[in-house]
Structure formats: C-alpha cells, structure tokens
Amino acid sequence: MKGKFITFEGIDGAGKSSHVEWLAETLRQSGRVVHVTREPGGTELGEKLRELLLNEPMHLETETLLMFAARREHLARLIEPALARGEWVVCDRFSDATYAYQGGGRGLDRAKFLTLEHWVHAHLQPDLTLLFDLPLDVARERIVLANRSLDRFEQERVDFHERVRLAYLERAHASPARFRVIDANQSIDNIRKQLEQTVSSICS
C-alpha cells in the first residue's frame, strides 16, 4: 500500500511548524511509520541549499531553480522511497511555497513555475495540504514576539507577505480537493482537533 504525503503551508508566523511534529507523533501512535521533513532541505544537499536560499541574496530565477533542485533531490532521496514503502511523509512546505513566495511574493512568471513543477514532480502532489492562514498583522506580531534572528524572507516588507498570503489562498482555491485551510488565529487545542478530523479523512 502506498503511503500518504501531507504538507504544511502558510505565511511566516502562521504557527504551522509547531504542529508538524505533533501530527507526526499522532500518526505514529496509530502504528504508521512517519517521516518528518522540510523544504528547502530534507537531505544533506538540500540543507546546504537551504542555507544559501535563506541567507544569500540572489536573482529570483536562481532562487527558484535552487528551490526546485533541492526539491528534486528531496523527492528522489526521501519522499518517493518512503511513499513506495507504504510510509507517511509530513513535510513543512513543498511546491505551494514556491508558488506563493517566488510567484506571489516576488512576481515569478507563473508559466515558469508551472514548467518547473511539471518537470520535477508532475507525477506527484501531496495527498493533503494544510494551509495555515491568519491576518498578516497577527503573523508579524508573532514573529516579533519570538525574538529571534530573521532569514531574508522573514525580513521582507509587509506588502511582500500580503502577496504571499493571497497567492496561497489562490492556490488553495484552485485545488480544493487537496487543500484544507486552517484558521491559525485560534487556540492550539482547537487547531489540533481540526487537524485530527481532517487527517482522518485520508487515513482509510
């Protein structure tokens, strides 16, 4: 039996990352083998590319190509083999993030994004994408309160993040069977109840 592929998406400060490991552990308790991973990253090469992508200024198309290069390695080394073994993969960001950040935020030509997506993983989309959405002012406040050093995406202006959010919602609207939009401006307990209900729908 083929495994399941679940991705978490959302603007910076949406709080999705705090639920990734929790969901994986919940799935493990039901007897599933679950891999937790992230993008960019997830492999030795991918983590090296992550450091460049988050910290080094570069041309938009260079940035996009590196994102997809890391993704191709991630798919080949971890995601596809795990799914083929019947294991589950829970991933913090995937191609929807590239659509939102490079496409929505930075203005990458959508045709170029779609060409790369088709080339790298036309055969594979997540079984379920959980999009954590909340007002931008709340997300920015959370980032400030976290009191940590920011990567170059988190340091972008407010209008950049607003475009990212709108692109995410556009992508969700275009693929309603795959996406579930989570109101991230509610209690952790309520969010986790919603996650349990949502994930149970693909567990059969």
Binding residues: 10-17
Give the bridge partners for 183, in sequence order: 133
Does residue 147 sit in helix, strand or coil?
A: coil
Of 40, 25, 38, 128, nearest to 92 by C-alpha is 38
Q: How many angstroms separate the CA atoms of 172 and 20, rounded? A: 19
Binding site feature residues for ATP = 10-17
Q: Name 190's Cβ contacts closer than 8 Å, sequence gap at least 6.
A: none
Q: List alpha helices for 59-187, DSSP H.
A: 60-74, 80-84, 95-98, 110-121, 136-146, 158-174
Q: Name 143's Cβ contacts closer than 8 Å, sequence gap at least 6.
A: 12, 13, 150, 154
